[in-house]
Amino acid sequence: MKLFEFEAKEILAARGVKVPPSVLVFPGDDVAAKIREAGLEPPLVVKSQVLVAGRGKAGGIKLVKSVEEAVRVAEELFRKPIKGVLPGALLIEKAVEHEAELYAAITIDRSERKPVVLASRFGGVDIEEIAKEKPESIVRLHVDPFLGLRGFEARRVGKALGLSGKLLISFASFLQTLYSIFEELDADLVESNPLAVVGDEVLPLDARIIVDDNALFRHKEIIEKRRVEQAGEYTEWEVKARQIGLPFVELDGNVGIIGNGAGLTMATMDLVYSFGGKPANFLDIGGGARAELVKKAVGFLLDFPKADRIFMNIFGGITRGDEVAKGVVEAVKEKGLKKPLVVRLRGTREEEGRRILEEAGIHAYTDPIEAVKKVLSL
Amino acid sequence: MKLFEFEAKEILAARGVKVPPSVLVFPGDDVAAKIREAGLEPPLVVKSQVLVAGRGKAGGIKLVKSVEEAVRVAEELFRKPIKGVLPGALLIEKAVEHEAELYAAITIDRSERKPVVLASRFGGVDIEEIAKEKPESIVRLHVDPFLGLRGFEARRVGKALGLSGKLLISFASFLQTLYSIFEELDADLVESNPLAVVGDEVLPLDARIIVDDNALFRHKEIIEKRRVEQAGEYTEWEVKARQIGLPFVELDGNVGIIGNGAGLTMATMDLVYSFGGKPANFLDIGGGARAELVKKAVGFLLDFPKADRIFMNIFGGITRGDEVAKGVVEAVKEKGLKKPLVVRLRGTREEEGRRILEEAGIHAYTDPIEAVKKVLSL
Amino acid sequence: MVVLLDESARVIVQGITGREGSFHTKLMLEYGTKVVAGVTPGKGGSEVHGVPVYDSVEEAVRKHPEANTSIIFVPARFAPDAVYEAIDAGLKLVVVITEGIPVHDTMKFVNYAKKKGTVIIGPNCPGIISPGKAKVGIMPGHIFKPGKIGVVSRSGTLTYEISALLGEQGLGQSTVIGIGGDPIVGLTFTEAMKLYEEDPDTEALVLIGEIGGDMEERAAEMIRRGEFTKPVVAYIAGRTAPPGKRMGHAGAIIMMGAGTYESKRKALESVGVPVAETPFDVPRLLREQLRK
Amino acid sequence: MVVLLDESARVIVQGITGREGSFHTKLMLEYGTKVVAGVTPGKGGSEVHGVPVYDSVEEAVRKHPEANTSIIFVPARFAPDAVYEAIDAGLKLVVVITEGIPVHDTMKFVNYAKKKGTVIIGPNCPGIISPGKAKVGIMPGHIFKPGKIGVVSRSGTLTYEISALLGEQGLGQSTVIGIGGDPIVGLTFTEAMKLYEEDPDTEALVLIGEIGGDMEERAAEMIRRGEFTKPVVAYIAGRTAPPGKRMGHAGAIIMMGAGTYESKRKALESVGVPVAETPFDVPRLLREQLRK
C-alpha cells in the first residue's frame, strides 16, 4: 500500500522530524482561507496528492508566488489527471530555501535479503538516472535485520556523502528515523527525495512510504486513518476491481487477459504481444480458484469496455479445470457473450472442464499458440 | 518504576488480553454507584492499589458477597496502610470462578544475561516458597533477546506445565503478550500471579509490571497517564526525597546514613549495624557530587525526624572532599546543627575538605571504625 | 543423486490439520513421499491420513528422529514461527508453501536459516519435486516425468506448463524447484544452480524467470564466472508488463530501474543462454543446446 | 602479565569532547595510559589534550591501527550505539563508564559482544587499572599500588576504600576491575576469575560483592569445582538492607528469594572463602589466607 506524500510526512512529523509547514486541501475547500488559517506565507508549493511516479515532471507540482495564484493553481490541479489519475487532495506547502538536495531511502535488497540504505548527494532529480550515470555516487549500506540501523552506520553513510559536523548528525538521525519507520510499518520502501539541506539540518521536501500489503493486518491504523480514498492511485476500473477483490491492472490494448498465476498471466500477455496483439489488462485468478471467483473475473472482463475480446489461459495445478469451466459458463449465462471469448485449458480435470465448456458452446483449446492466433484473428 | 495492578491490567487489555471486569475507585467516590455503572455483580474482590509485596497476606485483598459489603470494605481499605503505605485507589473486580491457578513471568536472568520465562502450575500462593520447596516445578526458558519469544517456545513452556489443546494455545499466546510488553516497555519484570485457568483459557487475576527506570525516557506515556500519584509505593519522607531528587530509602533505626556510592553506603549501614546501631535510612549521593547536592542531602537528614544523629561516610574518588565539606557546612549553616553529625572523609582533596570542616567546627575522621564508634556513643 | 530431494526424504507436514495441509498430505503420500509426522499446535494426538499429529516439531522429531524435511502450510501470520521451529528442530530442508507472509518476517527467518545451515524453499512457492522419487509440494505430480533436466522457476503455473511440455517431448526432469514468487525467497537461482552444477543426474537447466529483482542477472554473472557450466535455456515472463505497475504479486514490481525484461534478457544472452520468446519455445531451444 | 590490561593498551576515548570524557582523558594520560584517539561524532578534526578527535571509531582505528581498547563516556541514550561501534571496529576490550543505560540495551550489546569476542567491562563502572602500568577508567590512580593482589568489585567507592587499605598494608594490586553495578554487566565475577586464575602475577583475589543477583554464589560454585585455586577473601555489602527495597541502583534489588546476604555468605564460606564483616577487615583476612 502506497502512502500519500502528506501521510508519509505526518508519520515523519509524529516521530519528531521537522517537515515544511503545510496545509491539506480537498475539493470544494476555500483554499485561500485554509492557507491563511495555517499561517502560510508565499512563496508556496502546490502538490497534487497522487500515487504515480514522476508526478513533478507530469505537472503535478507548482510553485506559486501569491495566495491568489495558489487558489488558481489548486483549481487547475484538482481537474488535472496525472498519468490518468485525479488527486483526492492537494498539499500546499511553504517553499523552503535550501542549499542542497540529497536522496535518502531504506528498502529491501532482494538479492542480499537484507534492508539496504541508499543515499546520494544528488537528490531532487531523477534518482534512477543518477544511479545509471554515476553509480558510484549512490552510497549503499546493508543492515542486519536483527540489529537494525545503528547510529554509527547511519553516520558512516553521511560521511560517505561528504557531510560533517551538525549536518552529519542531523542526516544520520533522519536516516535512523527512516529505518524505524521501515521496520515498524513493515515498509517495502521509505524514501525522501529531495531531502533538502537547510543550514545545519536536513528537511524532507518529499517523502514516500510503501507498506507491505501482506503486513497490513499489523497496521490497521494506517487504513483507518486514511482520509483520501482509493483516488490518486488507481483508474476507475482498477478501483472497481479492487472493490470486488480482483487483482486487476489496466493496460493500453484491446485483448482482455485472464490467467492463473502471475507468471502464466504475464506469459500470456507476452504471447499475445509476440503475435502482434495488445493486452487490455492483467488479471490473475491465482492458484486453486473456485467457480465463484472465475465467474467474477470473466464477468468483469465482459463488462470492461477496453477489452473487445477475451483470452483466458489456464494451466491447472491446484486449479481444477471443472471449476474454471463452471465459472466461465455461469458468467456467460449471466452477462451474455457480449464479446468473443477464447479459452485455453490444460492440467488437472482438463477433460471435465472441456466437456462443460463444449456443452455451453464454448470451444476450449489445448495448444496456446493455436488459441492466441484464434483470439487475434477475431 | 512499578506499575499498579490496574495499570498493568490496562496494558494487558490494550494488547487484546481478556481480564476480569472491574472498576477503579478513588477516595470520596460513591463506590456503590461506581459498581452499578460498571455493571459488576457480586461476588467481587476489593483490592488495595499499593506497590508493596505481599499485599494479600497483609490484608489488602478482600472477597465480598454484596455491594453493601464492598462499600464497607472499600472504606476500610482506604484507611488501612499496607506495610506503611496507603492506597491511592482500589480496584473492584468481578470474582471469577476458576479451575486452577498458574504462575507466569518474564524477567531478566542476570547471570545468563538473557530474558527468562518463568512458569509454574502452582501459582496463587507464595511463588518464592514453591521455588524453594519444589524447584523442579518451576519451568525456565531463556530467550534470545534478538529473536524474542517465539510461539513454539511459548508452547514448549505450556507443554512442560502439562497443558494441551486450546488451553495450551491460550497460555502460549498470553506468554507472548507478556513478552511483547516486557520488550516494548523495557520491563524488568512482567508477571501474572495467579494466572487463572477458566475453561479453555487463561485469565490474569493479578498482574505486575516493573519498568526499568533508566528506560523511562522512552516511555513518557506511562508517566503522563499515571492517575494515582506516588501514593501506594513510598512513605511520606521517601516521597519528599523523590521530589527533590534524592535516592533515599526509609528504614527502621535511628542513625541517619549518607554515603557516596551504593556499595559504600550499604557498607556504612552494615558497619553501623555490626557495632550495635540501627540505620534510619539509606541515602547515596553518588559519584562526583557537588556541594549543592551534599547540602541538600545533609539538610534533608537534619530534618528527617527518625534520624537522631547522622553518620556521613565519604571516600572520594571522583567525588571531591572540598565539595563535600562545603555542602556540609552550608547545610549546617542553614538548618542549624539540630543533631549530632559525624563525618568520615577520605580520598581526593581530603586535606582541603578536612580544613573547611574544622574551620566550621566539625571534626572529620579518617578511620571509619573510630567514626562509627563515636556516632553510636552520642 | 538429485538436487536437495530424493527417496531418503522423511517429511513433517506443519499445519497438517488445515484444509490445504491435509489435502496435500494425501497427494504427497499417493506420490510416494514418506510423510512421517504432522504438526498442529494444540491438536497433538490426532491422525491425518494415517499420519500421527504432534503439538510441536520438537516432539515430532523426538518420535521420528529420521525426519529431515518439513513442508509448511501454516497461515501467513503463524508461518514465520513455524519456520523458526523447523530450523531449531534441526531440519535441513524447509519448504514454505504459505502465501502472504510479510516480507520483513521472511527476511528475518531467511537470514536466520542461513546462519543455522537450513535450506528454505519459498515462501509462496509450489515446492520441490524429484519426479519418480519424492514430491514435497503442491504441484500436480503426474505432470512431471523423470529425466535429466533441472527446472528452477519463480512462477508456479509456468513451471507446470513448461515441465509438461518438456515431458511430452521426452525431456524428463531430475529435480524441479519452484523457488517462490515473493520479493525475498530462501533459495535463489544462483544458490539452486550451485546444487544443479554438482548434481551428476542433471544435464541441463531451464530457468524460468520474471521481471523484477536481479536474480536472472546474477544467474548470468555466475555463468560468466564459469561457476555454472551446464547448458541453460531461460524464459522470462513480463516482457509486456508496464514498469511501475504491480503485476499481481510483489515479486513483479520493478524498482530502481533494475530488473527489466531487457536487462535480464541481455545479461543471459551475453553469456550464451538463449531466452525463449514464449514458454512453448523452451523445449526446442533446449534440444538445440543439448545437441551442441 | 596482568589481567586484560597492561602497558600495551592503546586506548580510544569515545565521547572525548564531553565534560567527563575530556577530564578523565587528561587523568588517564597523566597516569601514563596511551590514549591514541578520541571519538565524538560531528566533532572530527578537533583535539582534546593533544589527542586527535575523529567522527567515528572506524576512522580512528584506520588512522591508529594499534588501537585495541576503548573507554566510553557517551550519554546513556547513545552509549549502546558507541559499544556496537567499538565492537564492529574490532576493539577487544571496551570499558563502559556510562551510568543509566536501559538494561534491555545492555543485555543486547553484551550478547552481541560475546558473539564477536569482545570483552565489555561495565556499564556503570569505574573501569580497570593495572597499577603502575595503565588505567582505563575514572578511579583516582594514586590510591592503587602495584602488587600481587587482584581485586574485582561490583561497587566503585568500596573498591577505592578497600584498595587503599590494602595498599597501606603493603598489599599492592595486580589488576583492579570494577565490573559495574548494573543488573547486567559485560564481565562477571566468574569470567574475571578465569582471567585471574591464569595470570601468574596475581597471587590472591579480593571479591567485593553486593546483595542481589547470584554472581557471588556462582563464584563460590566455581571455587567448589576447582576452577579457581588461588586464595580469596570476600566482602559483601548490603547485609542490613531490607529485602525488596531499592538500594540506590537496580543491582541491589533482591528478587525471587535469591541473592540475599546470607545465601552469598553461606555459599562462599562453604568453599573456604572468609567473608569480612566490614571492608576494614579485608586486609587482615587476606594476610591470614596468604599465610596458609
pLDDT for A230 equals 52
Instruction: List residues in chain A touching B: CB distance below 8 A.
Output: 146-147
Mean pLDDT confidence for D9-34? 96
Q: Nearest-CA neighbor of B261 among D156, D151, A123?
A: D156
Confidence check: pLDDT of A308 > 60: yes
Q: Is residue A41 part of a domain?
A: yes
Cβ of D157 and B317 within 8 Å?
A: yes
Q: Which residues in chain A have Cβ-Cβ distances shorter than 8 Å to B146?
A: 146-147
Give the pLDDT band of residue A125 (cuts 50, 70, 90): low
Give the pLDDT band of residue A336 (cuts 50, 70, 90): very high
Residue partners of B290: CB distance under 8 A and separation at least 6:
B323, B327
Neighbouring subunits of B (3+ Cβ pairs under 8 A): A, C, D
Burial of B43 (0-12, 13-18, 19+ CB in 10 A): middle
How far apart are the C-alpha atoms of A288 and A275, rounded to whole Å? Answer: 29
Burial of C187 (0-12, 13-18, 19+ CB in 10 A): buried
Clarify whether residues B34 and B86 are in a common domain: yes
Cβ of A287 and C110 within 8 Å?
A: no
- pLDDT tens column, B35-49: 999 999 999 999 999
In chain A, which residue's Cα lies nearest the Cα of B144? A146
**What is the secondary structure of A18-65 as a DSSP string?**
----EEEE-TT--HHHHHHHTTPPSSEEEEE----TTTTTTT-EEEES
Clarify whether residues B241 and B369 are in a common domain: yes
Q: Cis omega (within 30 of 0) on the bond before B194?
A: yes
Q: Which has more pLDDT, D258 or C73?
A: C73
Clarify whether residues B241 and B212 are in a common domain: no
Residue partners of A29: CB distance under 8 A and separation at least 6:
none
**From the CA of C77, how many Å to the nearest CA of chain A?**
9
Cβ of A164 and D42 within 8 Å?
A: yes
Cβ of B263 and D155 within 8 Å?
A: yes
Clarify whether residues A279 and A352 are in a common domain: yes
**From the CA of B147, how many Å to the nearest CA of chain A?**
7
pLDDT for D218 equals 94
Domain count, chain B: 3
Q: Is residue A325 part of a domain?
A: yes
DSSP helix/strand/coil, B203? strand
- pLDDT tens column, D210-223: 988 889 999 999 99
Work out the mean pLDDT of chain B and round it to a whole number.
92
Clarify whether residues A88 and A114 are in a common domain: no
Q: Nearest-CA neighbor of C103 among C86, C119, C122?
A: C122
Clarify whether residues B175 and B305 are in a common domain: no
Residue partners of C198: CB distance under 8 A and separation at least 6:
none
Of A147, A152, A166, the CB nearest to D56: A152
Clarify whether residues B240 and B223 are in a common domain: no
Q: Which residues in chain A have Cβ-Cβ distances shorter than 8 Å to D91?
A: none
**What is the secondary structure of chain C as a DSSP string?**
--SS-STT-EEEEETTTSHHHHHHHHHHHHHT-EEEEEE-TT-TT-EETTEEEES-HHHHHHH-TT--EEEE---TTTHHHHHHHHHHTT-SEEEE------HHHHHHHHHHHHHHT-EEE-SSS-EEEETTTEEEESS-GGG--EEEEEEEES-HHHHHHHHHHHHHTT--EEEEEE--SSSS-SS-HHHHHHHHHH-TT--EEEEEEESSSSHHHHHHHHHHTTS--S-EEEEEE-TTPPTTS--SSGGG---TT-S-HHHHHHHHHHTT--EESSGGGHHHHHHHHHH-
Q: Is residue A15 part of a domain?
A: no
pLDDT for B349 equals 87
Q: Which residues in chain D have Cβ-Cβ distances shorter than 8 Å to A147?
A: 84, 112
Clarify whether residues B372 and B343 are in a common domain: yes
Q: Which residue has the cell 555454472?
A: C228
- pLDDT tens column, B189-218: 999 999 999 999 999 999 999 999 899 999
% residues pLDDT > 70 (chain C)? 94
% residues pLDDT > 70 (chain B)? 98
Q: Is residue A59 part of a domain?
A: yes
Could you tell me the pTM of the whole model? 0.91
Counting every residue written for chain C, the total comes to 292
How far apart are the C-alpha atoms of B368 and B344, rounded to whole Å? Answer: 6
Give the pLDDT band of residue B231 (cuts 50, 70, 90): low
Cβ of C237 and A266 within 8 Å?
A: yes
- Indicate the residue among B229, B247, B280 that finishes a domain: B229
Give the pLDDT band of residue D258 (cuts 50, 70, 90): low
Confidence check: pLDDT of D251 > 60: no
Q: Does C26 touch chain A (CB under 8 A)?
A: no
Cβ of B147 and A147 within 8 Å?
A: no
Mutating which of D157, D162, D249 best tests the B interface, going by the most B Cβ atoms within 10 A?
Answer: D157
Clarify whether residues B89 and B120 are in a common domain: no
With an 8 Å CB cutoff and a minimum of 3 pairs, decide whether chains C and A touch.
yes
Q: Is residue B155 part of a domain?
A: yes
Mean pLDDT confidence for A174-198? 96
pLDDT for A232 equals 57
Q: Which residues in chain C have Cβ-Cβ distances shorter than 8 Å to B165?
A: 42-43
Sign (positive or negative) of CA dihedral B134, B139, B144, B149: negative
| 8 A C-beta contact, residue D274 and residue D287 | no
Instruction: Read off the C-alpha cell for D219.
Output: 563464584
DSSP helix/strand/coil, B276? coil
Clarify whether residues A205 and A119 are in a common domain: yes
- Looking at the DSSP bridge assignments, the partners of residue B139 are B119
Of B150, B164, B165, the CB nearest to C81: B150
Q: Which has more pLDDT, A263 or B200?
A: B200
pLDDT for D253 equals 37
Cβ of C247 and A146 within 8 Å?
A: no
- pLDDT tens column, C160-183: 999 999 999 999 999 999 999 888
Counting every residue written for chain D, the total comes to 292
Clarify whether residues B257 and B364 are in a common domain: yes
Q: Is residue B4 part of a domain?
A: no
Confidence check: pLDDT of B316 > 80: yes
The ipTM value here is: 0.90
- pLDDT tens column, D125-181: 999 999 999 999 999 999 999 999 999 999 989 999 999 999 999 999 999 999 998
**From the CA of D43, how many Å to the nearest CA of chain A?**
6
Neighbouring subunits of D (3+ Cβ pairs under 8 A): A, B
Q: Which residues in chain C have Cβ-Cβ distances shorter than 8 Å to A287?
A: 99, 138, 156-157
Neighbouring subunits of C (3+ Cβ pairs under 8 A): A, B
Burial D80-110 (b: 16+ CB within 10 A, else e): bbbbbbbbbbebebbbbbbbbbbbbbbbbbb
Confidence check: pLDDT of C227 > 50: yes
Cβ of B218 and D102 within 8 Å?
A: yes
Clarify whether residues B122 and B165 are in a common domain: yes
Q: Does C56 touch chain B (CB under 8 A)?
A: yes
Q: Nearest-CA neighbor of A206 among A332, A99, A95, A361?
A: A95
| 8 A C-beta contact, residue B22 and residue B93 | yes
- pLDDT tens column, B248-261: 999 989 999 999 98
- Residues of C annotated as catalytic are 249
| Residue span of the structural domain in which A187 resides | 100-229
How far apart are the C-alpha atoms of D36 and C85, rounded to whole Å? Answer: 48
CATH number of the domain that residue A160 is part of: 3.30.470.20
pLDDT for B235 equals 81
- Indicate the residue among B48, B63, B94 that finishes a domain: B94
CATH number of the domain that residue B74 is part of: 3.30.1490.20
CA Rg value for chain C: 18
Mutating which of A15, A144, A146 best tests the B interface, going by the most B Cβ atoms within 10 A?
Answer: A146
How far apart are the C-alpha atoms of B313 and B368, rounded to whole Å? Answer: 7
Query: In C, residues 191-250, which contact A (CB 8 Å cutoff)?
Result: 208, 210-211, 213-215, 218, 235, 237-242, 244-250
- Residues of D annotated as catalytic are 249
Cβ of C81 and B156 within 8 Å?
A: no
Q: Is residue B367 part of a domain?
A: yes
- Indicate the residue among B65, B94, B123 that finishes a domain: B94
Q: Is residue B8 part of a domain?
A: no
- pLDDT tens column, A72-100: 999 999 999 888 788 989 999 999 999 99
How far apart are the C-alpha atoms of D242 and B191, rounded to whole Å? Answer: 22
Mutating which of C240, C245, C263 best tests the A interface, going by the most A Cβ atoms within 10 A?
Answer: C240
**From the CA of B216, how many Å to the nearest CA of chain D?**
9
| φ and ψ at residue B317, rounded to 5 degrees | -110, -85
Q: Does C47 touch chain B (CB under 8 A)?
A: no
pLDDT for D254 equals 37
